Amino acid sequence: MQSIGIDDILDMESRKRAAFINCLSGAKATNLIGTQDKQGRTNLSIMSSAFHVGATPPLMGLIIRPDPVPRHTLHNILETGYYTLNHVNQDILSAAHQTSARYDKDESEFGATGLTSQFVANIPAPFVAESAIKLGLKLVHHQELAVNKTHLVIGEIQTVLLPEDAVADDGHLAITEHGSVAVTGLDTYHELQPIARFKYAKVGQPVELLGE
């Protein structure tokens, strides 16, 4: 075992530090965030920072980092109050990764990558047609975090688009059956192989697999 302290971390070259620290939280969701500005110019950006905030009401968080480069996604979310979150699957993985290139505001990542924008219901933001599981979100909270000037964005889920019969009676949605992938660090994508589904744990009882 080795130990790497905060001084060692701060001494690392900045790209090395970013790669290293991004690995430490563990597996991350891989999503495409779809937005548009008031002029209807669409934007699509791969993000690995989505996290569950709560079910009642249904809320999801995102961390969007500050940058010398303009952050179109954040600007559009604040301007329109809406955005979409689309699970990345294996079929669109390289197109999804390509959205991380620094396109101009006038060039949509949809056109540049070949992904198809889709407008559904009353959400004024583009969904990704090729994604199997996708959410329309309304902004309900935004703050700049004082600790490092990143932006915390929390959205309320307005609509969920997904394949017929995808949700089990108990509410579980087998996202792996629809190709959703994970990312570790900045650039390494993974398929998810189910290994166990456990029953609710109780004191004094051994862990049991669900269905046994």
The residue within the footprint of a copy of itself, chosen from 73, 99, 108, 117 (CB under 8 A), is: 99
Give yes or no for residue 116 binding a copy of itself (CB under 8 A): no
Separation CA 30–CA 189 (nearest Å): 8
How many residues belong to the site for a copy of itself (CB under 8 A)?
A: 116
Of 37, 41, 58, 71, the one binding a copy of itself (CB under 8 A) is: 58
Residue 36 Cβ vs a copy of itself, minimum distance, rounded to whole Å: 20
User: Binding a copy of itself by CB under 8 A: which of 11, 14, 38, 69?
Assistant: 14
- Selected from 37, 41, 53, 78, the binder of a copy of itself by CB under 8 A is 53
- Name, in order, each residue with C-beta under 8 angstroms of 146's C-beta and a sequence gap of 6 or more: none
Within 21-50, the residues that bind a copy of itself by CB under 8 A are 21-31, 48-50
Classify residue 19 by its DSSP letter: H
181 within 8 A of 90, measured Cβ to Cβ? yes
Look-up of token digits 């996290």 = 51
Residue 188, number of CB atoms within 10 A of its CB:
11
Give whichever of 38 and 101 is closer to a copy of itself, judged by the CB atom: 101
Instruction: Report in angstroms how near the CB of residue 108 gets to a copy of itself at its nearest.
Output: 12
Q: What is the DSSP code (8-state) at residue 115?
A: -
- Do 178 and 87 meet the contact criterion of CB atoms below 8 Å apart? yes
Containing H/E element for 113? Answer: helix 109-113
Min dist. Cβ of residue 183 to a copy of itself (A)? 8
Binding residue for a copy of itself, selected from 111, 116, 141, 144, defined by CB under 8 A: 141
Binding mask 172-211 for a copy of itself (x = CB under 8 A): xxxxx---xxx-xx-xxxxxxxxxxxxxxxxx-xxx--x-
Residue 111 in the binding site for a copy of itself (CB under 8 A): no
Sequence-ordered list of residues with C-beta below 8 angstroms from that of 77, at least 6 positions apart, any chain: 35, 83, 139, 142, 153
Token pair 């965030």 is found at 33
Between 11 and 38, CB nearer to a copy of itself: 11
